[in-house]
Amino acid sequence: MKLNKVYFITNIFPHYREALWREILLSNNFSAKFFHSTNNPLSIQEGKFDEESFNSRIINVKGYWLFNKYLIWQYEIVRICLTKQFDSIVFLGEMNILSNWIGALICRIRKKRVFFWSHGFYGNENSLKYFFRKLFYKIANEHIVYENRGKRLMIKSGFKDQNIHVIYNSLDYEKQKFLFEKLNKTENSSFIFFRNNNSAN
């Protein structure tokens, strides 16, 4: 059976996303490719894989950063959206990345399924920011958000419940579990996890 091709367009590859990207790349439910910018000025350690089989599925694209802080354009994304063959595409839901606006609109015209992966609404946007964020979010078919609050705010703003998927944050669960169990066996575990076993004077 032919697997659906899913493209992920994101800003950078941070080290804390390694476990998540590995799970996606190893999925038997679809075939994934990631596109991200490596020339980032942010003080975030970049992720990396030892698996050579992943190399052809993680593609670097040049990004333009404003004030060495805000990514506003990724040079290859529009061409990818115009010419590549894929079934669905997941954009980082950041409206300041102008290439995402154009790329997502092209994908909708091409009848590709468009997802935005974001926090959703924060609830503290001023009127202008809220207007543009809502306009941007309307481009996508569906949304992936980090928490239930983000989903509630999107529903309140008129987005359909069934098109919003809460995935929470993407921690490396197995690593977190290992470290928790390791720390829990140490003599100082009561201190680490703020358990106060001392009786009051």
Domains and CATH numbers, the chain: 4-192 (3.40.50.2000)
| Residue-level pLDDT at 174 | 65
- The DSSP letter of residue 29 is S
| Residue-level pLDDT at 31 | 97
Which secondary-structure segment (H or E) carries 113? strand 113-118
> pTM for this one?
0.86
Q: How confident is the model at residue 200 (pLDDT cuts 50, 70, 90)?
A: very low
Q: How confident is the model at residue 186 (pLDDT cuts 50, 70, 90)?
A: low
Q: What is the mean pLDDT of residues 72-87?
A: 97
Residue 171 has pLDDT above 70, yes or no: no
Q: What is the mean pLDDT of the chain?
A: 89
Q: How confident is the model at residue 196 (pLDDT cuts 50, 70, 90)?
A: very low
Q: How confident is the model at residue 168 (pLDDT cuts 50, 70, 90)?
A: confident
| Residue-level pLDDT at 40 | 84
In single-letter form, the type of residue at position 102 comes to I
> In this structure, are strands 70-74 and 58-60 parallel, antiparallel, or unpaired?
unpaired
Q: What is the mean pLDDT of residues 167-173?
A: 70
Angle at 32 between CA 30 and CA 33, to 5 degrees: 165
Between residues 192 and 136, which one has the greater pLDDT? 136
DSSP assignment string, 136-182: HHTT-SEEEESSHHHHHHHHHTT--GGGEEE------HHHHHHHHHH
